[in-house]
């Protein structure tokens, strides 16, 4: 099933390898994406429901003993757009399921410890989506560029970081490493905006201009990061950053795909629904029981329709990755384990958003009709 907008999955289009050539990266390009800005923005919005349900499933799974989590690592120079990714992409899901950590200049206590000490403390727990705004990679970037430690010290860190990330992945966390790489000219424009606009001035730090002077050193340091730490267990996705909308749609897709690969299932309750139902209804006024059951039945129908949409959308997104990678099948083995409300993947048909809203309207109309019938009956 082809995706009209992604002609190549961002996993393939953006992944860095051992020969990665950063100088050759066109910072205003939109690898893999065929659409324009409006398509990109619309696609991010469209992914909201799917991302939300995936995140909620992950969270629920974590509550019931699952060990899976996601860690999105964001790197980039000042004004690269890290904050925008957090707001526009991660902002689409329930904040209760998100663990955001920013890593600035280390405190005295942090400096007294191993550089991974402060990172370990912020790793996402089960069911969480962790987001690192800067990370342990600063310890091979700013540390190297500013000569804060000897060369043999930072050089040894690449292998150490690879081993550290392997440990994290083996414990159940999917790592998505995103580097937002904007051009020097684009950075000048964004910094100037921060200087000129009173509502943006608070974002500018005078050290940003000092860092800008070291642009080339940073590019060299970043290139080594991509070449030496883009592993199979935790690959780097190097995202051209001049078009903010592209970076957002690309990261949205990367995160959605990562959650689909995990395919979190609704946990099975440790209690029997029929027993709990009987106990609950025994506490309700008998005259109200029928109405209550009927109302919940209607909600169930709605949930069933929504669930169908979710599964169809999930299969559609997974198909893009499957097509590019050849070996990655969508999570078609998913069997809803939450009773009869949800159709299986086989039953779920792809539903366009137009069809979806028509279906919703129809359901609403039917509901209204049933309600007015009921109230007429009561009046009689």
Say whether residue 158 binds ligand ATP (CB under 6 A).
no
Say whether residue 102 binds ligand ATP (CB under 6 A).
yes
Residue whose C-alpha is closest to residue 2's, from 327, 319, 332, 353: 319
Q: Which of 30, 143, 173, 187 binds ligand ATP (CB under 6 A)?
A: 143
**Closest residue to bound ligand ATP by CB:** 104
CB of 80 to ligand ATP, least distance (A): 9
The pattern of x and - marking residues 201 through 230 that bind ligand ATP according to CB under 6 A reads: ----x-------------------------
- Torsion over CA: 28, 33, 38, 43 (sign): negative
Say whether residue 140 binds ligand ATP (CB under 6 A).
no
Quote the CA–CA distance of 101 and 136 in Å, as a whole number: 12
Say whether residue 138 binds ligand ATP (CB under 6 A).
yes
Q: Which of 134, 212, 328, 359 binds ligand ATP (CB under 6 A)?
A: 134
Q: Between residues 116 and 300, which has the closer beta carbon with respect to ligand ATP?
A: 116
DSSP 141-152: THHHHTT-S-HH
Q: Which of 12, 46, 100, 103 binds ligand ATP (CB under 6 A)?
A: 103
Collapse the DSSP code of 133 into the 3-class scheme (helix H, G, I; strand E, B; otherwise coil) and give the result.
strand
Q: Between residues 33 and 132, which has the closer beta carbon with respect to ligand ATP?
A: 132
Residues that bind ligand ATP (rule: CB under 6 A) add up to a total of 13
Say whether residue 118 binds ligand ATP (CB under 6 A).
no
Residue spans of alpha helices (H) in the chain: 10-13, 37-63, 82-88, 108-112, 117-120, 142-145, 151-170, 184-196, 207-213, 215-229, 244-262, 273-281, 286-325, 353-379
CB of 213 to ligand ATP, least distance (A): 13
Query: Distances from the Cα of 301 to the Cαs of 186, 343, 360, in angstroms?
Result: 50, 11, 11
Q: Which of 3, 53, 139, 165 binds ligand ATP (CB under 6 A)?
A: 139
Long-range contacts of 196-201 (CB under 8 A, 24+ apart): none
Angle at which helix 37-63 crosses helix 244-262, to 10 degrees, equals 30
Which residues contribute to the site for ligand ATP (CB under 6 A)?
78, 102-106, 133-134, 138-139, 142-143, 205
């Amino acid at each position: 099933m082809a995706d009209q907008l992604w002609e190549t999955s961002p996993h393939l289009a953006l992944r860095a390898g051992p020969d990665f050539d950063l100088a050759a990266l066109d910072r205003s390009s939109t690898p893999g994406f065929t659409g324009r800005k409006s398509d990109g923005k619309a696609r991010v919005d469209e992914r909201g429901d799917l991302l939300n349900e995936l995140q909620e499933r992950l969270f629920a799974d974590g509550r019931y003993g699952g060990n899976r989590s996601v860690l999105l690592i964001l790197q980039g120079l000042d004004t690269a757009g890290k904050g925008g990714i957090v707001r526009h992409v991660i902002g689409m899901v329930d904040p209760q399921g998100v663990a955001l950590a920013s890593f600035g200049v280390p405190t005295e206590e942090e400096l007294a410890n191993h550089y991974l000490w402060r990172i370990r403390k912020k790793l996402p727990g089960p069911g969480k989506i962790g987001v690192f705004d800067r990370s342990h990679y600063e310890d091979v970037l700013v540390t190297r560029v500013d000569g804060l430690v000897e060369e043999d010290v930072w050089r040894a860190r690449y292998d150490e970081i690879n081993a550290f990330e392997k440990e994290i992945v083996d414990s159940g966390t999917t790592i998505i490493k995103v580097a937002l790489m904007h051009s020097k000219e684009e950075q000048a424009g964004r910094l100037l905006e921060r200087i000129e606009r009173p509502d943006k001035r608070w974002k500018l730090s005078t050290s940003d201009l000092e860092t800008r002077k070291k642009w080339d050193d940073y590019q060299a340091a970043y290139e080594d990061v991509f070449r030496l730490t883009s592993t199979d267990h935790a690959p780097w996705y190097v995202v051209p950053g001049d078009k903010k909308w592209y970076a957002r749609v690309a990261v949205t897709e990367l995160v959605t795909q990562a959650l689909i690969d995990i395919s979190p299932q609704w946990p099975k309750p440790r209690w029997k629904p029929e027993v709990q139902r009987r106990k609950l209804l025994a506490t309700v006024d008998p005259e109200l029981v029928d109405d209550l059951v009927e109302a919940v039945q209607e909600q169930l129908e709605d949930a069933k329709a929504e669930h169908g949409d979710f599964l169809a959308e999930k299969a559609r997104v997974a198909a893009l990755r499957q097509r590019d990678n050849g070996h990655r099948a969508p999570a078609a083995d998913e069997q809803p384990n939450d009773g009869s409300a949800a159709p299986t993947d086989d039953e779920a048909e792809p539903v366009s958003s137009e069809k979806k809203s028509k279906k919703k309207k129809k359901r609403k109309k039917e509901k209204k009709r049933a309600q007015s019938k009921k109230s007429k009956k009561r009046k009689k």
